[in-house]
Structure 1
Amino acid sequence: MSKRPIDDQPSTDIKKVAIGLSTLKGYVAERKGERADMQDAHVILDNCTADFTQFADKIQRVAYYAVFDGHGGHRASKHCANHLHQHLMQKLPKYEVNNFPKEMKKMIFQSFKSVDEEFLKEASAQKPVWKDGTTVCCILLLDDTMYIMNLGDSKAILCRYNSEHKKHVSVSLSKDHNPTDYDERQRIQKLGGQVREGRVMGILEVSRSIGDGQYKRCGVINTPDVKRCQLTSNDRFLLIACDGLWKVYSPDQAIEFILNVLQDNSVQIPEGSTKTLEETRFEAACNKLASEAVRKGSADNVTVLLVSVSKL
């Protein structure tokens, strides 16, 4: 999905909004790998503050980034890319509620449930019935507070400078939902499903997803893990990617690869480009990481979404 432009405020107002906050900019690269088609989808909204009216005058900046790794087709991932943030816009609480983080989590669960039911209703009305499903990994930023939501095995990580060890490290922001995990397997078995060869009913690799109507009665659920994390002045970038990347890169390896490109003096602004040097290098890092994942043998679709984080 293409980036949405910043809301139509005068430039002076936009500068006021950014004061004191991290400056964010998203970049994405997609590769089909050995798949016949691209079943992933993504969303980059560097500033969607005007759409979240419930936060008016309370939150200076809202941003949203998401990767959806489709399987069985592209329809579930595209549906989520088009509609999940819309559900969040409609359902999230006003900032004045007594326990805002608790209400946020409750409304996030409702948003995921609604988008899943919406897609499954459409899928079941088709002949033949759509069997598409998708993982979800998304980050909603309210000022510099991140709400990380994920289903399945796409991951979000943060690159943070560790001042004690004087190096950048990867910080995990999400939790994989695999059928082999004890709690996931127990739930699946209690609902009559089975885990064979590490997959639900020997077929589905993830234990939570949107879509996958034929597995919902086997214990596959639409309830995401939700985490809250604060951006700090030590944070360099966010990385959200589908499992096509993580099959060939560990989080630490991915962080190291990106940092090497960001520090590569041979990557310069192309003649005639209006991009800054940082934008040029982040774009290059994103594309090189996705291409290298395919070169290293990832046969899956690969989507790499990078978000630069910098303080003014």
Structure 2
Amino acid sequence: MDLQDPVIRSMASEQVKWTTITRTCGELSVSRAIGDRDFKGFTRRRMEAGTRGVPPENPALFLWPQNHSGEFYDDLLVAHPDFHEEEITDEDQFLLLACDGLWDVLSHGDAVKHTLELLDQGLCAQGAAQQLCELATRLGTSDNVTVIIVSLHHHPPSPLMPRRAA
């Protein structure tokens, strides 16, 4: 769905309702194609278009939005990724990729700020990524943490940690 298209955006605003639950059924915070089979298979072999999905055997395990029937018209997770393109400019310094273990405890702005500070201190991308993982752990993340920083400018390799003056 291209929400940049004004017609689609207008039509979507009539259909889309926002909730404060940021996880699939209050449990899964990211969508992925592999695994998480509890969130798939709600639509056992549809015989005809529009057949309602079958809710899980124990719907009490899921945190449903208020007034939700617990029935779905399709699987909750799909293997079709969303893509977003950005033109990289000379001002762009790095690409920060991380899983929800980081984003659960650090805002996007704070993550960028910390990354800039770490790189300015002389750490290489790998060292800065390692430090962000450790920061997420100190901030109390309860999930696994993966961080990858891709430098968009060619820099000679540097040590993981800057050298201290003697």
TM-score, normalised with respect to structure 1: 0.30
Determine which structure has greater relative contact order: mean sequence separation of CA pairs < 8 Å that are 6+ residues apart, divided by chain length: 1
Deviations along 1:130-157, whole A, 9 cap, x unmatched? Answer: xxxxxxxxxxxxxxxxxxxxxxxxxxxx
Distance 2:110 2:25 in 1: 33
Determine the structure 1 residue equivalent to 2:113. 256
Asked if 1:205 corresponds to 2:48, the answer is no
User: 1:199/1:234 Cα in 2 relative to 1: closer, same or farther (>3 Å)?
Assistant: closer
Larger fraction in helix: 1
Larger radius of gyration: 2
Paired AA for residue 145 in structure 2: V
Distance 1:291 1:225 in 2: 29
Post-superposition offset of 1:258? 1.1
Determine the structure 2 residue equivalent to 1:215. 39
Q: Give me the identity figure in percent.
A: 34
User: 1:217/1:252 Cα in 2 relative to 1: closer, same or farther (>3 Å)?
Assistant: same
Post-superposition offset of 1:300? 1.0
Deviations along 1:19-69, whole A, 9 cap, x unmatched? Answer: xxxxxxxxxxxxxxxxxxxxxxxxxxxxxxxxxxxxxxxxxxxxxxxxxxx
User: 1:183/1:205 Cα in 2 relative to 1: closer, same or farther (>3 Å)?
Assistant: farther
Distance 1:227 1:291 in 2: 29
Determine the structure 1 residue equivalent to 2:87. 230
Determine the structure 1 residue equivalent to 2:142. 299
Distance 1:202 1:252 in 2: 25
Distance 1:223 1:251 in 2: 24
Determine the structure 2 residue equivalent to 1:289. 132
Distance 1:233 1:301 in 2: 33
Distance 1:240 1:302 in 2: 11
- Secondary structure class of the residue paired with 1:239: strand
Q: Which runs of 5+ in 2 are unaligned?
A: 1-14, 43-74, 156-166
Distance 1:216 1:288 in 2: 36
Structure 2 matches for 1:122-201, cutoff 5 A? Answer: 183=16, 199-201=23-25
Paired AA for residue 246 in structure 1: W
Post-superposition offset of 1:184? 9.1
Paired AA for residue 261 in structure 1: L
**Conserved 8 A contact 2:126-2:148:** no
Distance 2:113 2:84 in 1: 24
How many residues in Structure 1 have an aligned counterpart in Structure 2?
106
Deviations along 1:76-117, whole A, 9 cap, x unmatched? Answer: xxxxxxxxxxxxxxxxxxxxxxxxxxxxxxxxxxxxxxxxxx
Give the RMSD, CA atoms, in angstroms: 2.8
Determine the structure 2 residue equivalent to 1:309. 152
Post-superposition offset of 1:230? 1.8
Distance 2:149 2:89 in 1: 17
**Conserved 8 A contact 1:244-1:300:** yes
Determine the structure 2 residue equivalent to 1:244. 101
TM-score, normalised with respect to structure 2: 0.54
